[in-house]
Amino acid sequence: MTIKTFHPDIIRQILPHRKPFCFVDEIISYDEQKDITASVYLAADMVFFAGHFPGNPIMPGVLVTEALAQTAGLLAGLQQSGEYENNRSFYFLASTDIKYLHPATPGQTLILQATLEKSFGGLFRFKVKARVEDKLIASGNLSLARQPD
Catalytic residue among 7, 17, 52, 102: 52
Is residue 7 annotated as part of the catalytic site, yes or no? no
User: CA-CA distance, 105 to 94, in Å (whole number)?
Assistant: 25
Contact 70, 23 (CB under 8 A): yes
Report the C-alpha dihedral over residues 13, 5, 68, 128, rounded to 10 degrees.
140
Please answer whether residues 14 and 69 qualify as being in contact, where contact means their C-beta atoms are separated by less than 8 angstroms. Answer: no
Q: What is the DSSP pairing of strand 135-146 with strand 123-132?
A: antiparallel
- Catalytic center residues: 52
